[in-house]
Amino acid sequence: LSQTLFSPRYLLVTNTSIGFLTGAVGDSINQNVGIPRKKNVDDYKWSWSRFRNQCAQGSILGAAYHFWYLFLDRKLPGTSSSSVIKKVFADQVIMCPIAVVFYLGLLNLLEGGTLEEGMKSLKEKSGQLLLAEWTFGPLSQLINFYIIPCRFRVLYDSIVVLSFDSY
């Protein structure tokens, strides 16, 4: 089954599905554990719209990272130290900020927010998200680009993100 799912023919669908599942599991954990604990409430009401939005986000980001990792491997082939460092640098400087802006922007759009609300959210939250990514991302991506074959990178990245977000 894994040979089929991670074959070139089905890899985009697999990575999009992995993104969807990451959004679903991550939001389920957050809504069942994180939010009630953070707000110190016992009667938190589940938000299906939030769940839907996180699944949509995950699907789109899963597909985006699918193409990003293929692009990086075409432009910077191999696992030499030089190639891996360049991939990590490109990921942190190019893709990471794009993903943060996209994540916050799409979330605002899915929630029915205005452009002004989206810009406010971006100003308030992007710095914190980028700092977290730039703190933990380089080591994670170093492992990803040096050890993990390209077809498993979205899966690896999703496991790392889910672990980090659940903590």
pLDDT tens by residue, 60-117: 999 999 999 999 999 999 999 999 999 999 999 999 999 999 989 988 888 898 889 9
Question: Containing domain of residue 91, as a range?
Answer: 2-166
Nearest Cα to 75, choosing from 93, 88, 87?
A: 87
Give the pLDDT band of residue 47 (cuts 50, 70, 90): confident
d(CA 14, CA 33): 28
Looking at residue 161, its pLDDT comes to: 87
pLDDT of residue 3: 86
pLDDT beyond 80 at 126 = yes
Structure-model confidence comparison of residues 44 and 107, the more confident one: 107
| pLDDT > 70? residue 42 | no
How many domains are there within the chain?
Answer: 1
* C-alpha distances out from residue 6 to 14, 36, 44, 58, 161, Å: 7, 37, 38, 18, 20
Give the pLDDT band of residue 37 (cuts 50, 70, 90). Answer: low
Long-range CB contacts (within 8 A, 24+) of 46-51: 49/110, 49/111, 51/24, 51/27
Q: What local confidence, expressed as pLDDT, does residue 76 receive?
A: 97
Whole-model pTM: value is: 0.88
